[in-house]
Chain A
Amino acid sequence: MKKYIYLTSTPEALVASMLPPEGFGMYLSTGTKKRNRGQNIFFEVDLDQIGNIFDMESLEKRCVAKEDGSPKSSVYLSVYRVLEMVPTSALKSLYLTTDHGCVLELKKAPYDSKRESVNTLHLYQELCPVTPLVVSDMTPSAFLKKLTDGSIPITLPKLFFVELKLGELAANPLGGSAEHLPYPNIGHMRDCLEILRGEYEKHMKTVQRVFSGTLLYRTIESGFYVGSKDEIVFYPYPTIKDLEDINYEFFRDI
C-alpha cells in the first residue's frame, strides 16, 4: 500500500499514513469509529524531499497494514517545530476538512504580489507555528516577510496563515458595516483596526491571542499562505459560487 506523509497544523506534526488525503482528512475529523469530530487543515508532503531531514527508518516498520489488512491510519513521525524543518518546496496540496469529514483540496498557485491590494487593512489568522488573530495594514507578502525576516524582535522561522474577510471595515474601520462578519467582539476589532490608522506607526495589532480551533471557511478572503522571508507559497481559495461546483459536499457542509 502506498504511504503518504502529511503535515498537520494542529497539532503541528508530521504524520505518515496509508490513507489517501480524502481518507486521512475524514479520519482526522471523525476518527475510526466516527465518534469524534473537528475541523482539520493539513498539507501533503513530498516524501522524497524530507527523507534526509527526518528519521524515516521507523516509517517502514511502523506504518504497516493492520492484521485484518486494513490500512494504517496514522503514525506520528515528529511533533514540534515541524513546519520550519519541512522545505516549502516539499509541500504539495493543502487540504481542509469540515467537522463531518468532507475534504477540500487546494492546489498551489503562483503568487502575484503586484495584484495585492495595498491601501486597505487585512485580517490574518496565523495557523502555525503560533495562532493569534492579527489585523495589519500590510499585504500578505509584506506581512509574511515582516514576521520572518528577523527585522523585528518577535520573529518566526516560517509562517502558515490565512487571510480572512474584513468587508467594509477594511477601508472604514469605525464607520463601515460589520454586517455578516461573524467575529466576536466587533468593537474590539474596530479599535484594533483604527490603531493601525493612528498617528504613531503600527502595522500589526493582535485581535485575539489564541486560535479558537474553528476556521469559518466562508470567511476566507484570498487564500492560505505559507513561507519565509521572500519565499511564499500561495493556496488560493475559490469563491463560494465556484466552491459549489468544485466540491458540492464540502460546500453544503460549511
Chain B
Amino acid sequence: MISSLFWIVPVAALTALLFAWIFYRNMKAQEEGTDRMIEIATYVREGAMAYLRRQYGVVTKVFLILVVLLLILAYFGIQNPFVPVAFLTGGFFSGLCGYLGMRTATYASNRTAWAASKSLNQGLKVALRSGAVMGLVVVGFGLLDIALWFLILNGWVFTPEHMAAGWKFAGLTFVHPGTTEHEKLIEITAVMLTFGMGASTQALFARVGGGIFTKAADVGADLVGKVEAGIPEDDPRNPATIADNVGDNVGDVAGMGADLYESYAGSILATAALGAALPGVTGDLQIKSVIAPMLVSAIGIFLSIAGIYLVRTKESATPKALLHALLLGTGGSSLLILVVLAIMAAADWITWGVFGATVSGLLAGVIIGQSTEYYTSDGNKPTQAIAKQAQQGPATVIIEGMAVGMASTWIPVVTIVIGIIAAYGFSGGFQNFAMGVYGIGFAAVGMLSTLGITLATDAFGPIADNAGGNAEMSELPKEVRERTDALDGLGNTTAATGKGFAIGSAALTALALIAAYMEEVRLWLGRVIDKAPEGFKQIGDTLFYKSVIPQVQDGQVAVHIGSATIRDFTSAYDITLLNPIVLGGIFIGAMMAFLFSSMSMKAVGRAAGNMVEEVRRQFREIPGIMDGSGKPDYARCVAISTAGAQREMIIPSLMAIAVPLLIGVLFGVAGVVGLLAGGLSAGFVLACMLNNAGGAWDNAKKFIERGNYGGKNSEAHKASVVGDTVGDPFKDTSGPALNILIKLMSMVSVVLAGLTVAWSMLG
C-alpha cells in the first residue's frame, strides 16, 4: 500500500509540464521582431531541428541494438525483462526534453532580442521563462517517468498473486515466485533504476554530439570568418555563423538538459533503490524511504515554479539588479526546500540525519558553483592572471590557463569530500553503512531538488547569447545590443553556477550509483542462489545462502543474502586496494576519463577541419558574399557540422558503454567497482579542470577585449584568442561530457550487474 502522499509526485510532474506549456505559449505570444530577425531565427531553428532529427536517427539505431542485447540477456535470465522497456522510456523522455527545450530556445532568441529593445527587464523575463520551459520539462518528464513506472510496477506487476505464484510472460520471468513485500520494493526500485541508463545514453550522445557540433562550427566560423576573412563575430556574411548559433542551442540547451535530466532521475532512483534496501527497514518505513526522494523532488518542483515567478525587476533595472533577482529566485527556492525537509523530518518521513545530508548536498552545490564563478570570472585574479600572461604570448597563456584549471579543482574536490563525509555521517553512516550511502544519495537529491529553476537560469544563457547574435546580425540599435550583452553576461554567470551544480550532482549521483550497484549485485546473487542446487554460493571465503545455512569450514563465514551488508560483499569480493584487480580497475577508470576526453577533442579538430574547408569554399565560389550581394549557404555548414558530429560521437560514446561491460566480464565485481571509483575520481577532477580552464581562457580574452592590455588587435589579444580556441573543446565538449561518462559507466554497470555476477560464477 503506497502512501497517499505519493500522489503529490505525479501531480507535481504534471504541474511542471502544465507551467512549461504556459510559459511556452506566453513566449510564442511575444512579438517576433523585424523581418530580418525572424529570418535569422528561422535559419537557426531549422538548423537546430535538422541536427536533432539526424542525431535522433543515429541514437535510435544505437538504442535498438542495445535493446536487442538487453532482450538477449533477459532471455537468458540475467536481466530483468522490464529493463529494455525502461531503457527505452528513459532515452525517449530525455530526447523529448532536448527537443522541447531546443524548440523553445530557438523560438525565444528573436523574441528576447525584441523584448530587450523595450527594456532589460522584459528581455530577462522572456529569456528566463523560455529557459524555464527546459527546466520544467526536464523535472516534469523525469518525475512523471518515475511515477508512472512506480505505479505500473507496484499496482499491476507486483500484485499479491504474481508475488505468490510468480509471473511469466513469453517465457520471460517478470516476477519471481515467493517474492516478499520487502523484496518487492527492492525489485521495483532496481528495475526503475535501469531507466537511467536510457537517459544516460541519450545524454552522452547529446553532450558529445552537441559539443562536437558547436565547437566545429565555432572554430570554423572563427578561423575563416574572423581570422582569414576579417569579418566580426555574428556577421551574416560568415557562412558558419548560423551553425555557430545552432551550436549554442545544441550544446548548451539540449546537451545540458539531457545531462541534468539524467542526474535528476539517476539521483532519485539510486536513492530510492538504496532506501528500499536499507537493512532492518520494512513495511511503512521502507515505503517512506523509497518515496521520500521522489516527494522532495516533487515539492522542489512547486518551489521552482514559485522561484521563477519571484524573478522580477523594475523596468529600469541594471544588470546587477537582474543578477540579484535571479539569485532571489534560485536562492529562495533552495531555502524553502530546506524548510520543507525540516517539516518532513519533524513528521518522521525522513530522519534529521537525512535532513543534514541534504543540507550538505545543497551547500556543496552552492560552493562548487561559487568556486567555478571565482576561477572563471574576469572580475577575479585567476582569469586576470591569464590575461596578464597574454602579454608574453600564447605559450604563457596556455601555461597559466592550465595552471588555473588545475588549481581550480581543489575547492570542488574538498567540497565534495566534505559533502560526502558530512552526508554519510549525518545520516548515521558511521554506525550503519547503508544509511550513510542513502544519505549521500539524498545529498544529490537535495542538490537537484530545485533543478526546475536552476536549469531555467542555465538555459537562459544560450537564449540570451542567441538573442545577442540575432540583434547583432539584424543590426539593431546600440541600446538593444547593450541590453542583450548584459543578458548574455548574466547568462555566463548563471552558466558557471549551473556547471558547478552539474558536476557536483554528477559526482554525488555516481557515488550513490556505485552503492546501488552493490545492491544490484545482491539481487542477482540471490537469483543465482535460487538456481543453485546446493542452495548457496561461495564468493571468496563467504557462503551466501537463502534458506538453509550451509556448513562452513575454518576461515569461512555464512551470510544470509537478504541480510548481507555492503561490507559483507566488499569482503567477499575482496574489494580492497590491495587486490590488484581493484587497483587495475581504478587505473582503467582513470584512464577512461583521459582517453574519452582525448577522443572528443580530436573529434572537434576533425569536424572543424571540414567546416574550415567548407567556409573557404563558399568564400571562393559564391560571388558577392563579402560585399553582401551574394548569400552564403548556411544550411550546408549546418549539415557539415551535423554530419561531423554524428560521425565522430559514435566511438567515444560506445566506448563508455563497452568498457564497463568488458571489465565486468573480465574482472568481475571487484574490477567494476575499481573502474567506477577510478572513473569517478579522475573524471570529476578532470571535468572541473577542463571546464574551468576553458571558461577562464574565454573570459581572459573578453577581459582584454574590454580594453585591458591594449584591447583588440594587441599582441595580448592575439595570444588570448589562442587560449580561447584551445579552451573551446575543453569547456564545451570534453569537460561537460565527462559528467555523463562517469554516470553512464555506473549505470551500465548497474544494468549489467546480472551478467557480471552470472559470468563470475561461471569463471
Contact = CB atoms under 8 A, between A and B. Distances in A.
Q: What DSSP secondary structure best describes chain A's contact surface? A: loop
Contacts of B237: 34
A37 B716 CA distance: 20
Given A32-B627, A34-B627, A100 B230 contact: yes
A179 interface: yes
A254 B712 contact: yes
Interface string A1-45: 000000000000000000000000000001011111101000000
A34 B231 contact: yes
Nearest to B709: A182
A219 interface: yes
The winner among A30, A33, A180, A248 for most chain B CB atoms within 10 A is: A180
Contacts of A248: 478, 481
Interface in B379-416: 388, 391
A184 interface: yes
Contacts of B714: 182, 216
Nearest to A33: B626
Contacts of B627: 32-34
Given A32-B627, A33-B626, A182-B716, A254 B711 contact: yes
Contact of A216 (B229, B478, B626, B710): B710
Contact of B229 (A35, A39, A219, A253): A35
A26 to B, nearest CB: 11
A37 B710 CA distance: 19
A253 B232 contact: yes
A218 interface: yes
B230 A37 contact: yes
Interface string A54-92: 000000000000000000000000000000000000000
Nearest to A215: B713
Contacts of B178: none
Nearest to B390: A182
Contact of A182 (B229, B391, B481, B626): B391
A99 interface: yes
A35 B627 CA distance: 9
Interface string A188-225: 00000000000000000000000000101111000000
Interface in B208-259: 229-232, 237
Interface residues of A, number: 24
Contacts of A39: 713
B384 to A, nearest CB: 10
Given A34-B627, A37-B230, A100-B232, A180 B709 contact: yes
A17 B478 CA distance: 30
A99 B391 CA distance: 21
A37 B230 CA distance: 6
Contacts of B710: 180-182, 216, 218-219
Interface in B675-718: 707-716
A240 interface: yes
Contacts of B707: 218, 240, 254
Contacts of A33: 626-627
B582 to A, nearest CB: 51
A174 to B, nearest CB: 18
A182 B230 contact: no
Given A39-B713, A99-B713, A182-B715, 7 more contacts: A37-B230, A100-B232, A181-B710, A218-B710, A218-B711, A253-B712, A254-B712
What are the nearest 8 A-B pairs in CB distance? Answer: A182-B710, A37-B230, A34-B626, A248-B478, A218-B711, A182-B714, A216-B710, A218-B707
Interface of B: 229-232, 237, 388, 391, 478, 481, 626-627, 707-716
8 contacts: A30-B626, A34-B229, A34-B231, A34-B626, A180-B710, A217-B711, A218-B710, A254-B707
